[in-house]
Amino acid sequence: MPLPSMKDVEPRELTLETEFKFRCHKGVKCFTKCCRSISILLTPYDIVRMKKRLGISSEEFLDKYTYMEFDEKSSHPLVRLKMLDDNEKKCPFVTPEGCTIYTDRPANCRYYPVGQGIMRKGTNDEPVNVEFYFFIKEPHCLGYQEDADWTIKSWKDDQEVSLYDDMNREWKEIQLRRDPFGKNLDSNKQAQIYTASFDMDRFRRFVFESRFLDIFDIDKEEIERIKTDDVALMKLGFRYVKYLLMLEETLKVKEKYKKK
């Protein structure tokens, strides 16, 4: 679950069939050691799940449990889980019994000790996004000494992480789409991208209380769905972010607003 340092990453090309031994359970001496002093990048879907689990608004969740930073290369806003300000810098959701939000834990926590990433290959004209995996081997983690056999695929199934991959794919692809001229986003755009990606309750107010639905041609059924469905709203948010970044014409402006 932590963002590994390069020394903890095993440089080996993995496939879904790659085998490994690992087991994590309450009996291991290191139980919950991995939930301290770590850097966990949260995806929009992680936040939808966690704020629902906690029964709080996205604004409250972001304010209480996260901090924001900007990606060095793209200047896109990113969100990380904030550790407690205690000696151990513990995750706010860990207890001696384990993770208190286990069934809604973030994708990075589900994958651990496997890491997952996405990179761009191919040419500028025909880019191909390739998902890849790696092992995170940190000295404190004793799970590798346990005797349980996995492949990357069976681990993913066991941790129910494929749904997260499906939900996160579009957002991860957006993170790869950097301005080809290396220009930084202005603060207004960064704020809009932050809201449309991570702050669903604020984004919903923006959609329904601004001129958004007057300007953009959004299907009636979708409008009904996004009134209550955070996942549908998150997907609209991805389209809005792509529109803002001028990556694709993901939203149609109504005829009356088109320049003649």
Interface with ligand SF4 (CB under 6 A): 1, 24, 28, 30-35, 91, 93-94, 99, 101, 105-106, 109, 112, 140-143
State in angstroms the smallest separation of the CB of 118 from ligand SF4: 21
State in angstroms the smallest separation of the CB of 260 from ligand SF4: 53
- Coil, strand or helix at 3: coil
* Contact (Cβ atoms closer than 8 angstroms) between residue 237 and residue 77: no
CB nearer ligand SF4, residue 110 or residue 242: 110
What is the C-alpha to C-alpha distance for residues 172 and 164, in angstroms, rounded to an integer? 11
Largest Cα separation within the chain, whole Å, is: 70
* Contact (Cβ atoms closer than 8 angstroms) between residue 173 and residue 129: yes
CB nearer ligand SF4, residue 45 or residue 93: 93
- Coil, strand or helix at 41: strand
CB nearer ligand SF4, residue 84 or residue 176: 84
47, with CB counted inside 10 A (0-12, 13-18, 19+), is buried
Q: What are phi and psi of 66, to 5 degrees?
A: -135, 165
CB nearer ligand SF4, residue 4 or residue 203: 4
State in angstroms the smallest separation of the CB of 119 from ligand SF4: 24
CB nearer ligand SF4, residue 92 or residue 122: 92
State in angstroms the smallest separation of the CB of 225 from ligand SF4: 28
DSSP codes, 192-256: HHHHHHH-HHHHHHHHHHSSHHHHB---HHHHHHHTT-HHHHHHHHHHHHHHHTTSS--SPBPGG
CB nearer ligand SF4, residue 97 or residue 249: 97
Q: What are phi and psi of 20, to 5 degrees?
A: -155, 160
